[in-house]
Amino acid sequence: MVIQSVIKYQIFEGNTSETKTLIPVLEAFQKKFDIGKPIIIADAALLSQKNIDALQEDGYEYILGGRLKNETEAIKTKIIALEVEEGKPKEVESKNGRLIVSFSPKRAHNDKKNREKGLKRLEKRVGCGKLSKEHINNRGYNKYLKLSGEVNVSIDYEKYKADGVWDGLKGYVTNTSLPRNKVIENYSQLWQVEKAFRISKTDLRIRPIYHRLRNRIEAHICICFSAYAVYKELEWLLKNNNIDLSAEKAINEIKEIRQLRYVLPKSQHVRTKILKPTERQSQLLAMKI
């Protein structure tokens, strides 16, 4: 029996907005792979409200990262009142569906640590007089700044302390009927997408593209995409052969394999011989395809 793998990607002009590509891409993939409507999982930063509205209008279910601090004051009050514990997510209703809130002590530690670092940077800049009223905005940790009189910039420590109530909290927006833990579990798989982008952009150099002609751009992306498909196939082979190596480490091991090329003196036939490989290299050479 021959198993055929089918892969697909689409290319759009750089000035084409996501609102014009999301639904057509989903429909094209459904048609290509003969599947029903999938549940869309995405980071909050990747989907605008227009895209969310488009998903709802076309009957798609989704799981999105929630921006808790960007919610209305009424919803933020409800979130704080939830008193969420580790492993016991809770939820409230939002305009885009169920807003599920989880808590992680590790995340709380990192959030607090990052806020403290941000505060120290602000204190240093305020002490040096490098901040002016132009810096009073809601971007990053500048939200802790306040303006007294006309030119006196200081730090609002009360606002800094109040922000600690959000440490460790993470939001997920969904219009599915999945259990809360299942929603969180599915969303947590986004690391694989993030890893794919990292590999594509760094290891395979899909970006930046130093081409001007369309056919060259398409060829460049095709080569990079094909290389990524081979990379994923290697990952599958390693797992299937019970070899405890990442694809990256396996590639580095393969690069270190040495082969000797020699010519028989009488027949002049060319022969090759792999020099003594390491245990890891022997495992890779013996992989079942």
Instruction: Among 14-18, 52-56, 210-214, 268-272, name the one with the lowest average pLDDT.
Output: 14-18
Backbone angles phi, psi at 88, to 5 degrees: -130, 70
**Residue in the structure block whose two tokens are 């070899």:** 243
Residue 139 has pLDDT above 90, yes or no: no
Residue range 255-283: mean pLDDT, rounded: 92
Mean pLDDT value across the chain: 87
Residue 3 has pLDDT above 50, yes or no: no
**Treating both helix axes as pointing N-terminal to C-terminal, what angle do 49-57 and 22-33 enclose, rounded to 10 degrees?**
40
3-class DSSP assignment, residue 275 = coil
CA distances from 223 to 204, 214, 218, 220 (A): 9, 14, 9, 5
Q: Dihedral sign, CA of 92, 96, 100, 105?
A: negative
Angle at 26 between CA 30 and CA 97, to 5 degrees: 115
**What would the pLDDT profile of 21-35 be if each residue is shown by its tens digit?**
889 999 998 998 888
Both tokens of residue 43?
Answer: 């980071």
Percent of the chain past pLDDT 70, that is, above it, reads 90
Q: What is the pLDDT of residue 47?
A: 80
Residue 134 has pLDDT above 70, yes or no: no
Rounded to a whole number of angstroms, the CA Rg of the chain reads 26
Contacts of 276 (CB under 8 A, 6+ apart): none
CA distances from 228 to 1, 55, 238, 246 (A): 25, 29, 15, 14
CA distance 40 to 193: 13
**What would the pLDDT profile of 143-177 be if each residue is shown by its tens digit?**
766 656 555 667 788 888 888 999 999 999 999 99
Residue 232 has pLDDT above 50, yes or no: yes
